[in-house]
Structure 1
């Protein structure tokens, strides 16, 4: 999609200028749909990469999908979108078990998945990188650019302008937008609207959503490498756990297209993450490493051990509809939190948001 390669609009439609704030799955799905319909879209993302929680942390031992671990495909529109990147997404035979006690003992045998688990290759962020590439090539993707405030355009009060801050460019105002989409975690969207004193109907809807944090531990054991050496610990590759600290564990090296060095991603439970949200990272790492040893039986010291804190991770109370849109002010919000916390729900939310505007 080059700058002048947008699809033609119906004669009855007008080409609109639209700001999408956030480049996670919902934001990119929304932006690419609007751009393909012929609208002029600019995406603002405060991070260095697109993806949101569809993220991959690189290390000298290989990558870690330290946010979203996999996704499922139920919606035909999502399936059709994935068909645009043939070969990039592959099934993961996770061999998932359910751990039912504090000592990590497996009470149930391997659980056959009810549906396929899919992962992009070589990392979870590869899918949105590919989908966002046309936007980046057209100069419509502004990374490391945080939106600080929304306000009416001073020259054209019916339009919006955004105050942003980014490296090099510093503070800047982007103006002339007909519509604004907040494709952010619900607490961040609410905070931006509140500080901007805009979008009261949206704030009322967003206040009903509840989202939990998540501490994530990433471990690498380079002394164990597949297939030349048997992996460490259990014979399963992923587990849902009821350990009081850990909710999920996955052997990253079991995923297709990944480095063979033994690596684990460990995600803490929502309750434990909330209680320890502001703890020192080293203290969190020590506690989660101890829990990992209890669950897996792996007692070898990992040469690589780091933690990452997601302040807004798992939706506890969703909005209950695909998006929220204030047609009067021309501001909308979307994200996986609208329907739940699955990748596909984020995609559907962004798509429906775009359709509401277009």
Structure 2
């Protein structure tokens, strides 16, 4: 009588404690995947909330998506993840045009997009805030906490501990991590590894990544709320510009789920941002506001003018693979810069980073 083979038994999960540095799309996608696999995760973020370049700045006039303007959905895994947050993401009919010159002349209206442009509501950061909520509820989301050094755990040398700085230059050490994931821009990950003298196998890989900066201008025109004035300026809601200062303009109030007050987000070109990277805010405001007037023809005085500098905004030379994982040191890195500069690139990078650890 032939003996039936015994079914293979899966090995029990050995729970690991993993530190994720960065609460942008890559970091949150990585963290939530690790938690779903049964691991313990602690996320560190130097800002006040999750989002990264999917941040939204709230003002008395409404919100501004000061980084990512929209995203596309091409990967089935990203589509499945978005389905866990029904109603939070909506399509944006941007009515995008392309601007030819500094006089604001339109070359041609863009063809209808081949794929939907999506935004989170009521602001771009809403998606990651919801995805991060279980981490926050579990006390695993360390906001306003910047990791400044990595080193071996003093009690357990095979593990990691992280030195951090918080509000008011307060410092603290978190220990007992089996692995560390750096879900931050490549130059920041490289700098942290270099200053910590750790993860030397990763540093040559990170050194070749280039990411362009971007200055963002935010404008509000509440006078456009008058009953006889629906909006100011052009009839398009977004434009890709060849103006030497401006690369992108978007009417924030045209996005679904937003305040009706006329608001514009203007993103400077990478070249101009690089040349003026260290300029003070007032100088940048004046120059970009002048360019905005030239492109849109809007000469009204805005009631709100603010700028934000993204030192690392858009990848120009991506890594060409979804993540980097050094099993020997148990250190990994991920981010949109691994594959490109899109939101979906960041999601895939964080997801596949987590799968590599699992």
Distance 2:37 2:218 in 1: 40
Distance 1:284 1:321 in 2: 36
List per-residue Cα deviations over 1:231-274 (Å, max 9, x = no partner): 10000000000100000000000000000000000000000000
1:66 aligns with 2:59: no
Distance 2:282 2:111 in 1: 34
Residue 228 of structure 1 and its aligned partner are, at CA, apart by 6.3
Contact 1:227–1:260 under 8 Å retained in 2: no
Residue 156 of structure 1 and its aligned partner are, at CA, apart by 1.0
Question: In structure 1, what is the equivalent of residue 124 of structure 2?
Answer: 124
Contact 1:226–1:260 under 8 Å retained in 2: no
Question: In structure 1, what is the equivalent of residue 281 of structure 2?
Answer: 281
Distance 2:333 2:254 in 1: 36
List per-residue Cα deviations over 1:107-145 (Å, max 9, x = no partner): 112431121000000000000000000000001101011
Runs of 4+ in structure 1 deviating by more than 4 angstroms, as ranges, are: none
Q: How does 1:1-358 map to 2 (within 5 A)?
A: 11-167=11-167, 170-225=170-225, 229-358=229-358
TM-score by structure 2 length?
A: 0.96
Aligned to 1:354, what secondary structure does the other structure show?
A: helix
Residue 169 of structure 1 and its aligned partner are, at CA, apart by 9.0
Unaligned runs of 5+ in 1: 1-9
Largest Rg, 1 or 2: 2
Aligned length: 349
Aligned to 1:90, what secondary structure does the other structure show?
A: strand
Aligned to 2:233, what secondary structure does the other structure show?
A: coil
Question: In structure 1, what is the equivalent of residue 7 of structure 2?
Answer: none
Aligned to 2:106, what secondary structure does the other structure show?
A: coil
Distance 2:228 2:322 in 1: 47
Aligned residues: CA RMSD: 1.2
Contact 1:25–1:128 under 8 Å retained in 2: yes
Question: In structure 2, what is the equivalent of residue 6 of structure 1?
Answer: none
TM-score by structure 1 length?
A: 0.96
Distance 2:50 2:111 in 1: 33
